[in-house]
């Protein structure tokens, strides 16, 4: 057993809500259990400002800090944000200082699959169910590569996302050792974007949740809507990144960088980019409503406020 001190405000259900590691976990108000993958059987219990960790292996007690997102708490990196956005960020950090990027990078195949499956579908309704069905039936996601598609269709689903996963995963497993050993983001980007079906959102989410690089963040619908909501950040949103240019250039050398939403976002928030994207997802899904508008910490900055 290991005990660590945490913020009393830490909320398990909210913390894991935006995490691609969610399918691997059983999450309750004060208790989390890792059911599958690396350090399966790990139990995390919260009691006020203390967390108790239970596992037979010491390395899994240490690994729990990654699962809890403690490696990416915002106060460590918020000072690097562009001065223009400092007040905006400080409000979010004050509210969510306990909120890190909850992940499980040692389960790269499952995390990658979770990211890939989330394209154009509901993550909590479909992706979590698909991944858990795979793990309950076969033990690990890569086992599906040895299973007949008719069986997969019967027991997992017939969605096009599942069929695409089978194609992409086969290539990923061939490249996996190289991908995991690469630290050069440009070479890694060329390798991953070279796989048909892997776009910029998948790449950026992979960098954040597997490579644990907080400079990266998927420019998805939730983030765009969040940024547009505020006068201060609406100017960040211009053109969406282009895969052909992203494969060819590093951001600083790209011919269209000044009109690219991703470049502008990363320039604004630096190492906090991945954290801001995560908070944007949580905010859009759980906070932005007429009923909660009056208590929002950003209401005076919001162009869509209902009060």
Q: Considering only residues 274 and 80, tell me which one the structure prediction assigns the higher pLDDT.
A: 274
Q: How confident is the model at residue 292 (pLDDT cuts 50, 70, 90)?
A: confident
Nearest to 118, CA basis, from 35, 249, 206: 206
Residue 76 pLDDT: 76
Give residue-wise pLDDT tens across range 142-187.
999 999 999 999 999 999 999 999 999 999 999 999 999 999 999 9
Q: How confident is the model at residue 287 (pLDDT cuts 50, 70, 90)?
A: confident
If asked whether residues 55 and 123 sit together in one domain, one would say no
If asked whether residues 225 and 204 sit together in one domain, one would say no
If asked whether residues 183 and 143 sit together in one domain, one would say yes
Give residue-wise pLDDT tens across range 100-123.
999 999 999 999 999 999 999 999
Q: How confident is the model at residue 306 (pLDDT cuts 50, 70, 90)?
A: low
Residue 82 pLDDT: 86
Show the domain range for 9.
2-82
Instruction: Domain count for the chain, please give it.
Output: 3
Give residue-wise pLDDT tens across range 17-72.
999 999 999 999 999 999 999 999 999 999 999 999 999 999 999 999 999 999 99
Instruction: Indicate whether 257 belongs to any domain.
Output: yes
If asked whether residues 167 and 238 sit together in one domain, one would say no
Instruction: Indicate whether 158 belongs to any domain.
Output: yes
Final residue of a structural domain among 164, 180, 209: 209
If asked whether residues 120 and 179 sit together in one domain, one would say yes
If asked whether residues 195 and 243 sit together in one domain, one would say no
CATH at 134: 1.10.340
Q: How confident is the model at residue 291 (pLDDT cuts 50, 70, 90)?
A: confident
Final residue of a structural domain among 188, 209, 230: 209
When pLDDT is averaged across residues 198-223 and rounded to a whole number, the result is: 96
Instruction: Indicate whether 31 belongs to any domain.
Output: yes
Instruction: Indicate whether 10 belongs to any domain.
Output: yes
Residue 307 pLDDT: 55
If asked whether residues 201 and 230 sit together in one domain, one would say no
Instruction: Indicate whether 92 belongs to any domain.
Output: no
């Amino acid at each position: 057993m290991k005990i660590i001190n945490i913020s009393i405000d830490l909320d398990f259900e909210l913390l894991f809500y935006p995490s691609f590691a969610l399918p691997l976990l059983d999450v309750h108000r004060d208790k989390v259990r890792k059911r599958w993958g690396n350090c399966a059987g790990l139990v995390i219990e919260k009691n006020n400002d203390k967390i108790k960790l239970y596992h037979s292996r010491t390395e899994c007690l240490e690994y729990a800090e990654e699962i809890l997102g403690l490696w990416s708490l915002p106060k460590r990196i918020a000072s690097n944000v562009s001065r223009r956005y400092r007040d905006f960020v400080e409000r979010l950090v004050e509210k969510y200082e306990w909120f890190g990027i909850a992940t499980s990078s040692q389960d790269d195949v499952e995390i990658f699959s979770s990211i890939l499956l989330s394209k154009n579908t509901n993550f909590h309704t479909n992706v979590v169910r698909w991944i858990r069905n795979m793990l309950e039936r076969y033990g690990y996601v890569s086992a599906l590569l040895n299973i007949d598609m008719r069986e997969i269709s019967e027991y997992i689903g017939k969605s096009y996302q599942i069929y695409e996963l089978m194609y992409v995963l086969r290539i990923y497993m061939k490249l996996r050792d190289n991908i995991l050993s690469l630290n050069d983001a440009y070479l890694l980007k060329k390798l991953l974007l070279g796989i048909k079906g892997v776009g910029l959102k998948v790449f950026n989410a992979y960098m954040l949740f597997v490579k644990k690089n907080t400079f990266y963040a998927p420019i998805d619908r939730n983030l765009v809507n969040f940024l547009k909501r505020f006068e201060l950040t609406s100017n960040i949103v211009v053109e969406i990144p282009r895969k052909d240019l992203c494969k060819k250039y590093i951001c600083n050398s790209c011919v269209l960088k000044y009109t690219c939403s991703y470049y502008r976002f990363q320039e604004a928030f630096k190492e906090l980019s991945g954290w801001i994207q995560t908070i944007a997802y949580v905010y859009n899904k759980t906070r932005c409503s007429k009923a909660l508008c009056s208590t929002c910490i950003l209401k005076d900055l919001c162009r869509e406020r209902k009060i």
